[in-house]
Structure 1
């Protein structure tokens, strides 16, 4: 079986996050931008992948079309055992364009699609192809977007809890925000704080000590630059809190540097950024050996979400991250949504489990 074509589909689905906002630098993000990677074969099977695309969908789409598609067309579809070697060769072929960022986002999309195909060929859900299935549904946490107002933060936390979520993550950088959330959710609910890299190491240590009584599970990416693993390790040792990082890291190699530095208690590989399922599995194996917990970065709505669920199905722990917002449409017909108990069911169909709704794709396609 050969790959006949690789296509990138840019999809943009509006959402409503209420009092929250989603910003990347100076740009407000008012819709969910996705680049779906469709890999077709001469046997009629199709694999679906996902390439990270927040605020850069045209760039990611171009990377898939100009770098990935020429590498993949005509390749024999590898089985599960052959995917790592295939992807390493493609990484080697494209290393002149950089091993991180957009190049790896595009590589991630192809890798996920190949795993989808490999499981479909075997007629099994991806989690069974990957090994032992330990969980059939994954506990979700509500990942709140930036709100700012402690009063509004408390209100949104209470709403999320009422919907069944069993854990909360904030995207805030002030201690009043953190304490407001803790008071709203009570002492026993896990609380995480994503800071998005604003502080120096010294500032982050002071911040960790200031909010320690609110008992956050971890501070996520408190330090700029995010790859300053020495500074992160110092914050972890002197701040007295868990430290999470990894959504901006690519490949097992960079995670190895992070973990060897003692920078994190929680590693956060993102399957649509790190290099796909292949690299995610390497990162998870490394983390298990070194005693680091895996909490994936996964606030996605395309195949990357499904892939994350399958990866977590083979683990005894780990939560799935779900952006706390109302989207206008769903590629999966609502089947990958959080239920009333705060869990997301792991798909049981072949491959990733679901095929994207082409009607939704066409309605929200960006030409």
Structure 2
């Protein structure tokens, strides 16, 4: 069975995040941009992948079209054991274009699609190919977008807890914001604080000390630049709080540098950024060797979210990240909704488990 075509679909689904907003530069984002990658074969089977694309969907699409499709067309579809070697070669072929960013986002999409195909060929779900499920549902935490106003933060936190979420993550950079969240949810609910790399070392250490009374489970990416693992280790040690990072790390090699430096207590590979299922599995093995917990970056709703559910199903513990927002449609219907107990069901169908709703794709397609 050979790959006959690789096609990138730009899908944009609007959302309502209440008082929250997310900004990149001067532009407010009011929709979820996804680049869904369709890998067709001469046997009629289709694999689905996902390339990270928050503010660069056209660029991610072009990377798939110009870099990935020529590498993949005519490729004999490997079985599960053969995928790592195929992806290693593609990484080597494309390394001139960078080992992170758009190139790796596009590579991630192909890798996820190959694993989807491997499951479909064998007639089993992805989790069975990668070790076997230990859990049938994964506890979800509500990932709030940046709000700023302490009153609104408290209100949104309470709303998420009432809906069943077992933990909360903020995207805030002030002590009043963190304090407001803790007061709203009480002492027994895990609270995480994602800072998105704003501070130097001394400022991050002070922030960690100042918010310690709110007892965050961890601070996520408090330091700029994100690859400054020595400073991140200083913050972890001197700030006396656990530290999470990894959504901006390049492949397992940079995770090894991060963990060797003692920079993190929680590793956060993102399956649609790090290199797909193949690279995520390597990071998870490494994390176990270092005694680092795995709590993936997964605030998206495409095939990458399904892949993350499978990847967490083979582990005994760990949460899945869900953007706290309302959206008018989903590629998977209501099958990835958080249930009343705050969990998301692991797909049990072949490959990733579900096929995307093509009517939804057409309704929200960006030409």
The interval holding the TM-score normalised by the smaller chain is: over 0.9
User: Which residue of the partner structure matches residue 246 of structure 2?
Assistant: 246
Q: Alpha-carbon deviation of 1:334?
A: 1.1
Note the alpha carbon deviations across 1:190-219, whole angstroms, 9 max, x for none.
000000000000000000000001000000
Q: CA RMSD in A?
A: 0.5
Where does residue 78 of structure 2 map in the other structure?
78
Once residues 206 and 153 of structure 2 are traced to their aligned partners in structure 1, the CA distance between those partners, rounded to angstroms, is 22
Structure 1 alignment gaps of length 5 or more:
none
Partner of 1:194: 194
Count of aligned residue pairs for this structure pair: 367
* Partner Cα distance (1:332, 1:299) in 2: 15
Aligned to 1:223: 223
Q: 2:63: which partner in 1?
A: 63
2:364 corresponds to 1:361: no
Equivalents in 2 of 1:117, 1:132: separation in Å?
17
What's the CA shift string for 1:1-56, capped at 9, x where partnerless? 00000000000000000111011232211100000010010000000000000000
Distance (whole Å) between structure 2 residues aligned to residue 99 and residue 27 of structure 1: 27
After superposition, residues 108-127 of structure 1 pair within 5 angstroms as 108-127=108-127
1:16 alignment partner, SS class: coil
Matching residue of 2:141 = 141
Q: Distance in 2 between matches of 1:24 and 1:306?
A: 26
Q: How far is 1:161 from its partner?
A: 0.3
Query: Structure 1 residue 175: deviation in Å?
Result: 0.4
CA distance in 1, matches of 2:26, 2:32: 17
Give the corresponding residue for 1:158: 158
Give the secondary-structure state (helix, strand or coil) at the position aligned to 2:310.
helix
**TM-score, normalized by length of structure 2?**
0.99
SS across alignment from 1:216: coil
Task: Write the mapping of 1:30-45 to structure 2, written as runs, cut at 5 A.
Answer: 30-45=30-45
User: 1:359 is paired with a residue of what secondary structure?
Assistant: helix
Structure 1 runs (4+) greater than 3 angstroms displaced: none
